[in-house]
Amino acid sequence: MANVLLEFKASAADSEPQNRPVLIVGQLANLQQINWTQVKGKLQPVVTKEIWQAALASLNPNPTDSCPLYLSFAAVAALPSRVSRHNSPSSAHFLTRLVRTCLPTGNNRCIVMVCERSDVFASACAIARAFPLFTRRSASSRRTEKKHVTVEFVTVGQDNGPLEVSTLEVKNACCNCFSAHNTLCNLLQEIKAVGNELSITPTIIRGEELKQKGFGGIYGVGKAAQHPPALAVLSHTPSGATQTIAWVGKGIVYDTGGLSIKGKTTMPGMKRDCGGAAAILGAFKAAVKQGFKDNLHAVFCLAENSVGPTATRPDDIHTLYSGKTVEINNTDAEGRLVLSDGVVYANKDLSADIILDMATLTGAQGISTGKYHAAVMTNSEQWEAACVRAGRSSGDLAHPLVYCPELHFSEFTSAVADMKNSVADRENAQSSCAGLFIGSHLGFDWPGIWVHVDIASPVHAGERATGFGVAMLLSLFGQASEDPLLNSVSPLGAATAKTAPEDQMERDCKRRRLV
């Protein structure tokens, strides 16, 4: 699917299925609400109204179902009718699967997505995930013609009018970012490219300059690699901004584990250890393109955790940018070291009011919250709730970790430094402890908002990256966007990010979910 051009349009225009194969997808109740006149132009003459109605009557989603309408050229598919309270009302994960399995083949195809307006953003992102852009297959490289998939939304329920042009633009902007995790082999080069596209000159601190300026975490992790580590920053500072937000991404472009080296079964796939930085880069690009009213800084902590004569050793003690000393007892617990430098830079040098770090931080995250939900830790109960709601409205699901530094931070006790970098007891809330390590360098009494998002498991599905995090960030901070769609999916009010979020998502979704 790497040669696919995905495009969202207000209308996909009419065409016979033999000329343009089509998939019509939505919850069964939504499919039953649309008029035949809204879809007949995509189906006639080979699919009649009677065939369409018979196909709908045959659908029995458990949790999903599909029915061919005409040979291999047209199909209709039904999403789950209800979801639990910890899932997205859009059934985003099921939608991605249905598009992958039910969309007819062809060079020019159409998807008609039938949903409520509140599910448009999450559904668009879910459809985009079905079309990864990266491949190195030789057959694909020889194919010059791109396959084209046009997506049209038909909205039902309240506020079911046509979508605005700006709504289509933000969906296209988001979907263009989802290939990042698969393709970013030179993250610094991609950061420069995004900066050039947005007319932003990045701030870059690299190599020995990191050591001189006290970034002991980033420098210590990446100093043995052929390409020197770096801290890179993209800054958007519009006039009239009322607060400063910093997104800090873990950009370990490859993680061997260092001298605490990974095994042959756990090292493959570590090209995705830059997933947090990749998500932030994609979200920053989309947010700025759509108009972002507050100061927004994207801070990238870049390093390759490599093995070599100069590699960090267990028992080394590093001084991080916070001034705190860390005894290294596990070189494969490197993400927290680079992020600690990043969040402190966001506080000291960027004066951020809100700091969010995103990372493929711990394998234990998948045990804590599973393959589909990011693990969220924050010093703010309101932002914890907001992250969960943003997950449901975007399809990038999230669930809280325990935040209890008075019970857990003692896991890092060191006899010779301020802390160790890995826990003493690996059965005691590993993912929570890893997040607390980062927060400790800001200080647990830091007055600002700090959010930590561990995306280790949802960042990939099998051997493919998912682009997880882009949609979540755009939704979570949608109140600062000039785009009405992002405003509508944001869980936070526009007045201030420090107030408790409205529970609108909860009210909107009750009728479509299980308790």
3-class SS shares of the chain: helix, strand, coil, % to 5: 35, 20, 40
C-alpha to C-alpha distance for 116 and 91, rounded to whole angstroms: 12
Q: Is 137 a catalytic residue?
A: no
Distance of CA 497 to the CA centre of its chain: 20
Q: Which residue out of 82, 262, 293, 498 is catalytically annotated? A: 262
- Residue 13, judged by CB atoms within 10 A of its CB (0-12, 13-18, 19+), counts as exposed
Q: Are the CB atoms for 281 and 389 separated by under 8 Å?
A: no
Bridge partners of 245, per DSSP, are: 296, 354
Residue tagged 């966007």 (tokens): 481
Please tell me the distance from the alpha carbon of residue 335 to that of residue 367, in angstroms, as a whole number: 18
What's the rounded Cα separation, in Å, for the pair 109 and 120?
A: 20
Among residues 42, 336, 389, 392, which one is catalytic?
336
Measured distance CA(99)–CA(94) in Å, rounded: 9
Q: How far apart are CA 247 and CA 230, in angstroms?
A: 16
**Cα 222 from Cα 254, distance rounded (Å):** 10
- At 490 the three-state DSSP class reads coil
Verify whether residue 192 is a known catalytic residue.
no
Residues 6+ apart with CB under 8 A from 9: 150, 151, 152, 168
Instruction: Answer for the pair 20, 109: CB distance below 8 angstroms, yes or no.
Output: yes
Whether the CB-CB separation of 298 and 234 falls below 8 Å is answered with: yes
Backbone angles phi, psi at 59, to 5 degrees: -70, 135
The residues carrying an active-site annotation are 262, 336
